[in-house]
Every structure is written in structure tokens, then in C-alpha cells.
Amino acid sequence: MTERRWDPTLGEWRTFATHRQGRTFLPKSDSCPLCPSRPEHAPTEVPRPAYQLAVFDNRFPSLSAAPPQPSVLGTWLHPVEPAAGATEVVLYSDQHDLTLADMDVEHLSRLVDVWADRYQILAAREEVRYVFIFENKGEVIGVTLNHPHGQIYGYPDIPPRALQELQTATRHQEEHGTCVWCDVVASEHAAGIRIVAQNRHWMAFVPFAARFPYELHLMTMRHAPSLLDLSDPERQSLAALLKTVLTGYDALFGFSLPYVMSMHQAPTDDGPWLSVSHLHLEFTPLHRTADRLKYLAGSELGAGAFINDTVPEQTAAELRAAVDRAAASGAA
Ligand SMILES: [Zn+2]
Ligand SMILES: [Zn+2]
Ligand SMILES: [Zn+2]
């Protein structure tokens, strides 16, 4: 069963996809469904002997182009709708053990191009109103396949967190006449203290009011609503900054750091969002020390209010030092 149910108390759609319970869970590397297909083995998701990057529809989709009818009838209080949309998998490389941090900037540039292409293609679909590019990395995040990959969801509406950002940015624009993200970029640039890395077109910083200890936001210096608004040099700058930030993350505690990456950009519903959408990537690792995780507990889950045990200016300094160590060791 897949369907979307409306929560009338919070005003949010929830997606249900029960068949996902049976999906492949952490297979051994010699039976990885995301590796290239090998002769005399069952074909994998990619029927080729090798590939650079690959994108395909998720075999266990929660949102799809031709969704089944819902399993229950909706009411005026509890509307139900088919789970229309898209769920795609983006394979970063045919090397089973490589992570984004291990890839060179040229390959990361190709990935940025693939993201931009998929954004454009999914945006053109009638039922897709928000394209969400993300990555869950590491078993502590709940990843079920280790082969390095990201995902793209095409939602039939603007999902709650993205909508909250856009509505807040709209209010900010009404009050101050500016894009809140542009104001944040200018303010962080002037303060400098929370910046972890920057280049000509992009900046990475720990947000002033970060939710997680080692949270990082990567933002275009110039107002660009989506990947499609970036010039080629701006795309390459993003790839270069990804390399710096991710090798820094791995140097932080000396192991490949798990995280969730979320990309926020302009919705594709033809709404009035272009002046308040400012392309950015949010990295949220769960680690607060090498062996302790930040769990979402009472205040975060029950009240929606994040409590952070660390000082953003201090974690930014730690991350800057990690970026320097990575550069000195040649990893970056
Ligand atoms: Zn693999
Ligand atoms: Zn802006
Ligand atoms: Zn955001």
C-alpha cells in the first residue's frame, strides 16, 4: 500500500509505503544491487560492466508517477490521496567503497550536473511541485545499502520544513525588503567566525542557531533560486567546496562521518518563490563526539525545539582545524 494521508491537526501530508518494510537491508558487498553487473551473477540495478554515475527509479518507491488508489476512503476531516511523485536513486560511482569525500572535484562536478539535470526533468512533471535532493550516509542514519548513493524525491506539494523556510523568507522580505539567505551570507561573511570554508562563489558555515553540533550550511554567495541558475564556474565551486567540507568532516574524528544532506531550492509549483528561494545544502551529522550521538528526544520530538549542547563558534573552529588537517594530509 502507498498513499498520502492528511494530518488535520498539523496541516501536513504524511506518506505511507508499507512495501518498503521488505526492502533489501545491508547486503554483503559481493551481492550489492548497486554495483555494476558482473558476468555469471544475477544482474544488479545497473545492467552494465561499469558506470560513472547512474540514476534510476527507486525499486521500493514511496512516491511514483502512477500510484495505486489509496487503501482507505478519505473523509472531510481525513483526506487521502494517491502517493504521486517521484523517488529516484543517484549512484555516485561504481566503486562500492568510495564516498563523496574520496572522489575528485571533477567527478563531483559531474554529480552537480546530474543533480541539475534531474531537477529540471522532474520539475517539468505536472505532479511534482518540489524536488528534494538528499543523501543519508552511514548506518547510524539508517542507511540500508552501503554503496555510496543519494536520493531524489519529487513531492506533489512543498514539504513542511521547506515550506516553513519559504514562508519565513517571505515574511522577512515583506519586513526588510531583502532575501533572508542573502542577509545571512553577508552577515556570516562579515563575522567570519562561523565560516568553515569558502571559495569564490560558495561559503560553508555553522549556522548561528545550529540545531546539531557539527551542522554545516553551504550557500551560494549570489542569490540563485536553484541549481539551474548557477553558471558553470559556480557549479565547479560547489563541487570544490563539497570536497573540502567532506574531507574535513572525515578528518574531524578520524572516521567517515555519517550525515544527512538536504538540498533546499526553488519549488517547482510555479508559485511566487523565486525571490525568497536561495539554493543551499544543509549537512546534519548526528555525532556530538567521536562516540556519542545527538538523539532527537523530548524537546526536539515533542516540542519541536532543538537544544544544542555545543557552541557554534567553537564547533566551527574544530571543523576549520579538521579541514586544515585534511588539506595537510593531502586528502583534500
Ligand atoms: Zn556496491
Ligand atoms: Zn538570496
Ligand atoms: Zn534549508
Whether 27 has a pLDDT exceeding 80, the answer reads no
Q: Average pLDDT of 178-203?
A: 98
Task: Give a yes or no: residue 213 inside a domain.
Answer: yes
Whether 295 has a pLDDT exceeding 90, the answer reads no
Task: Give a yes or no: residue 68 inside a domain.
Answer: no
Please give the share of the chain, as a percent, with pLDDT higher than 70.
97
Q: Average pLDDT of 203-229?
A: 98
User: Rounded to the nearest whole angstrom, what is the distance from the C-alpha of residue 313 to the centroid of ligand 2?
Assistant: 23
Residues 97-110: tens digit of each pLDDT: 999 999 999 999 99
149 catalytic residue (yes or no):
yes
Task: Give a yes or no: residue 4 inside a domain.
Answer: no
Task: Give a yes or no: residue 298 inside a domain.
Answer: yes
Task: Give a yes or no: residue 120 inside a domain.
Answer: yes
Alpha carbons 159 and 28: distance in angstroms, whole number = 34
What cell was used for 91?
A: 549512484
Whether 24 has a pLDDT exceeding 80, the answer reads no
Q: Report which of residues 28 and 282 the model is more confident about.
A: 282
User: Rounded to the nearest whole angstrom, what is the distance from the C-alpha of residue 284 to the centroid of ligand 1?
Assistant: 24
What cell was used for 72?
A: 482507505
User: Rounded to the nearest whole angstrom, what is the distance from the C-alpha of residue 191 to the centroid of ligand 1?
Assistant: 43
- Name residue 103's amino acid: M
Alpha carbons 304 and 296: distance in angstroms, whole number = 10
Predicted local distance difference test score (pLDDT) of residue 325? 97
Task: Give a yes or no: residue 17 inside a domain.
Answer: no
Predicted local distance difference test score (pLDDT) of residue 306? 95
User: Rounded to the nearest whole angstrom, what is the distance from the C-alpha of residue 33 to the centroid of ligand 1?
Assistant: 6
| Listed residue (218, 245, 205, 206) closest to 331, CA to CA | 245
* Domain span at 323: 24-59+85-329
- Ligand of minimum distance to the alpha carbon of 98: 1
What is the CATH classification number for the domain harbouring 140?
A: 3.30.428.10
Q: Which of 147, 149, 217, 287 is catalytic?
A: 149
Alpha carbons 279 and 266: distance in angstroms, whole number = 7
Residues 55-69: tens digit of each pLDDT: 999 888 999 999 999
What cell was used for 258?
A: 555519517
Whether 83 has a pLDDT exceeding 80, the answer reads yes
Query: Per the structure, how many domains does the chain have?
Result: 1
- Name residue 160's amino acid: P
Task: Give a yes or no: residue 313 inside a domain.
Answer: yes
- Ligand of minimum distance to the alpha carbon of 264: 3
Lowest mean pLDDT among 143-157, 200-214, 308-322: 143-157
Task: Give a yes or no: residue 10 inside a domain.
Answer: no
What cell was used for 229?
A: 541558475
Alpha carbons 194 and 313: distance in angstroms, whole number = 5
Predicted local distance difference test score (pLDDT) of residue 300? 92
pTM for this prediction:
0.95
**Strand 292-293 to strand 287-289: parallel, antiparallel, or no bridges (unpaired)?**
antiparallel
